[in-house]
Structure 1
Amino acid sequence: MTSVQERVRPLLDTSSRGRRLLRPLAVAAAAAGVLAVVATVDPNESGHYPTCPWLYVTGTWCPGCGTLRALHALTHGDVPTALARNPFTVVASAGLAVWFVVWTHRMWTGAQRTRMAPAWLLYGLFWAVLAFWVARNIPGWTWLSPS
């Protein structure tokens, strides 16, 4: 007589490559959907997307201001405009693409699960976002503003 756990276990087994790739495929599909909307609906035209709440309340740029316009430019292959709108988004997009490739490779090969990012990298990213936030609000540094 087999227990319920023994009968259910094969359904939950993620050892096959096809099953291991379900999560990366789901993430890729979601990202493709979001990028398709951003590529189609121009954030440079008013009324399509809401205003940044931080900009609305404080009148200063947040680290994410200009991200939609930067992604719109990237989806159209216009890297200089994307860098002008939000350089941090361009760098972060490249980093996320590399991370996604590494993650998908690990899932494909069935490599041992490890931490994807060491603590020093996460702290460094946190401080980089804060430094970018401050730098883009320094008077006279209009080259970092998303407008």
Structure 2
Amino acid sequence: MTKTARIATTALAACAIALAGAAYFALDPATNAIFPRCPFLTLTGLKCPGCGSQRAIHCLLHADIRGAAAYNFLLVASLPAVALLLVGELVRKRRPGFYAAVNNTKFTAGVLLAVTGWWILRNIMGW
């Protein structure tokens, strides 16, 4: 991919993220029908690991961390890990050791274990 194509792709992605952020800021997914419902919840009656994420994002954009955690605690709790992964990607070439530390099998297995545990517990405990 050429440098121009990378810049164009990055700009397009930034615009899409900004547009989605504006939509989630302006419109409440809890009351607005344009946001999709969870197909897993609709089909099974059980919550998936991502259920409540749209409402949690809306709350986070309004600085309501408690409300966001009530909708999807895993999303809020995973923000530091996501930040580490983003930083690791940004410094990938300058700090390959840091990148390797946050992009390894143990980290990935831990994320998989946390998501699976959250999925099971939220349905057993009714979170």
What is the TM-score normalised by the length of structure 1?
A: 0.69
Out of 52, 55, 77, the position equivalent to 2:63 is 77
Deviates more, 1:36-45 or 1:126-135: 36-45
Give the drift of 1:59.
0.3
CA contact (8 A) 2:85 2:103 kept: no
Give the drift of 1:39.
1.2
Match of 1:43 in 2: 29
**Structure 2 runs not aligned, ≥5 long:** none
Match of 2:73 in 1: 87
Give the drift of 1:88.
0.6
Out of 107, 113, 123, the position equivalent to 1:127 is 113
Letter of the 2:18 counterpart: A
Percent identity for Structure 1 against Structure 2:
30
Count the aligned residue pairs: 122
- Structure whose alpha-carbon radius of gyration is higher: 1
**Structure 1 runs not aligned, ≥5 long:** 1-10
C-alpha RMSD of the superposition: 2.7
Deviation track 1:9-37 (CA, whole Å, cap 9, x = no partner) reads xx94x6xxxx8x94766654443332222
Pick the structure with more helix per residue.
2
What is the TM-score normalised by the length of structure 2?
A: 0.79
Structure 1 runs (4+) greater than 6 angstroms displaced: none
